[in-house]
Amino acid sequence: MYILLCLIIAFIWSGIKIFNFSGVEEDIYLSDLVLKLAFDNADFFVGAVLDMAIDLIPVFLFQMVFGMYIYRHFCVTGIYFFIRCDNRKSWFLKETFKLLGFSHLYQTAILIFSMIILIFISDFKIDMCGIVLVLYYVIIYSMWLFVTCLIINCIALKLGSVFAYVSVIGVQILFLGMFNIYEKYVSMDGSQLLINDIWLKLNPLSGLVFKWHSSLFENVNNKINIFHIIYDFNETVAILCVLAIFFVVLGMELVKRQDIIDENREIGGI
Amino acid sequence: MVKSVKTQMYAIFQRSSPYIVFMILLTFVLINYFHNLSQYKGCYIFEIVNPLRLSILEATNEDYNIMLIQYLPFMLVLPAGFSFVRDIETREIVYISMRVSKIKYYIGKFIAVFLSTFIVFVLPLFIEMLLNNIAFTMEARGNPFNISEISSNYMNMVDKYFLSDLYITHPYLYYCLFVCVFGAVAGTFAVFTLSLSMFIKSSMKAFLFLPAYLFTCGLNIITENLHTDVSTNYYYYLRFFDSANKNGIAYACIIGSVFLLSLIIVCIKSKTCKVI
């Protein structure tokens, strides 16, 4: 059921996103597609922030569906499930791998469906630059989904699903709103940029905006690095990997200590 | 019916969530208020912007209202959207529907959720109006664009406001009306969530964030994809004194339809549902 849900959301979102390409008569390259899917309108003014809020829709939808992927075991028939589970830590690790698989599947499905639709409606071409970007797109976006879903699951275990969602989605919206403030208080152009790019890197949501990144590959760098700063994709990947490991370890501890004979945590559970 | 509404509103306000949302809104309001105080400290009257236009939801006040309105689809569910689910959880549904009738319980729940959300969202904005009118003189006639009120640019901008005639003749009434519209939109989405929580059984409370979020997102996507001149993004409709191209009547019809749909669902459910 989860796989089907992943594919349905991915298909609908690809259709919505690719609708923008309809009517374009020029050749569309794979790199253009990836940039389109990775916050192509990102900037520091209200209109751009609103566009970025729309680009966050598939992220929020995935988080709403998979934010309870592990936590749900503690709500519905929790006691029956865990008295048969000898090692909860290894069970949690297995579940996190499944969650990682789903997030990869989701991002890959968005990309593949978009490519299929583009092949039918325009002259779609694959370029080398696009292949590198695809690799980073799948890794960075799926790791972001994985980490955020893991955080939601961990918070939900202690404080319930509603609080978990509100806090994680709330923090992401706060990061989004910060981009609008950057325009006024942090100069992002000209000579000030070298000093202020630290503000850009401090906002985790910048990691999802590909055109602000830099790359070791020159042709990729020329395509994306609009601010001409050093903000390598590998930095973002490394940070997300560290966060993922941290929350997996934290989750294992939480699951181990979680009381399964708890009151009804959600509707109709035990 | 009044008894049912009273009991249910009392139950809603016994929970912490309406107060949390109220405090979040009040925090936004106070941050904006103190920012205005520091900005206009020591200014002459002709330099000060009209107190009404210092509101957090004023169109040019984008630093604060963009964040507030992005939070809105999630915040409007919190005060009372989970109320029916909580009643099932605590079995309060049995207690109240035994005291009033089953139909009165459901209709009372609808009214109570709408009113509670309305109050939570409207009160901070009226507090803001009061604070601004105390701190800044009502005689101040300035506007955030620093242009003359009789200039053609300003007049063209005012013409684009929804109900611009009312704004010109009775600005305070216009402001109060829009605060109430803001509260009513919040209340409508709260009852929409409530009706879906009655209709669709979900094992997780958090899924109830989805309907309001999806609906508002759906409206936003239309503008992005169809490249229409008229914006459908709810952000431009909920801000006050906004001169963006928009169709207020169509938006009112959409919100009205959501309200009616929610009411129909609740009415159907009140007749078909078994309490115990």
Three-state DSSP string of B182-251: HHHHHHHHHHHHHHHHHHCCCCCHHHHHHHHHHHHHHHHHHHHHHCCCCECCHHHHHCECCCCCECHHHH
Residues B196 and B204: beta-carbon distance below 8 Å: no
Radius of gyration of chain A (CA): 20
Which residues of chain B does A53 touch, with a Cβ-Cβ cutoff of 8 Å? Answer: 70, 220
pLDDT at A270: 35
Residues 69-88 of B with CB under 8 A from A: 70-71, 74, 78, 82, 85, 88
- Please judge whether A184 and B71 are an interchain contact, meaning their C-beta atoms are less than 8 angstroms apart: no
Report the alpha-carbon angle A191-A195-A196, nearest 5: 100
pLDDT at B145: 72
Distance CA B215, CA A141 (A): 24
Which residues of chain B does A19 touch, with a Cβ-Cβ cutoff of 8 Å? Answer: 225
Task: Tell me which residues of chain A have a pLDDT lower than 70.
Answer: 20-25, 76-78, 184-196, 260-270
pLDDT at B114: 93
- What is the per-residue pLDDT across B184-241, written as a single tens digit (0 to 9) for each? 999 999 999 988 888 877 667 778 888 888 888 887 777 666 666 777 778 788 888 8
- Please judge whether A177 and B66 are an interchain contact, meaning their C-beta atoms are less than 8 angstroms apart: yes
- Please judge whether A267 and B203 are an interchain contact, meaning their C-beta atoms are less than 8 angstroms apart: yes
Domain ranges of chain A: 28-257
Distance from CA of B88 to the nearest CA of A (A): 8
How many C-beta atoms lie closer than 10 Å to residue B44's C-beta? 9
Task: Tell me which residues of chain B have a pLDDT lower than 50.
Answer: none
Choose among B85, B203, B213: nearest Cβ to A60.
B213
Q: Name beta bridge partners: B231.
A: B246
Three-state DSSP state, B104? helix
The two three-digit tokens of residue B257, written as one number: 């339809």
Contacting B with CB below 8 Å, chain A residues are: 16, 19-20, 46, 49-51, 53-54, 57, 60, 64, 67-68, 72, 75-76, 156, 160-162, 164-166, 169-170, 173-174, 176-177, 180-181, 184, 264, 266-269
Choose among B205, B210, B221: nearest Cβ to A267.
B205
Distance from CA of B213 to the nearest CA of A (A): 9
- Please judge whether A54 and B88 are an interchain contact, meaning their C-beta atoms are less than 8 angstroms apart: no
pLDDT at A134: 92
How many domains does chain B fold into? 1
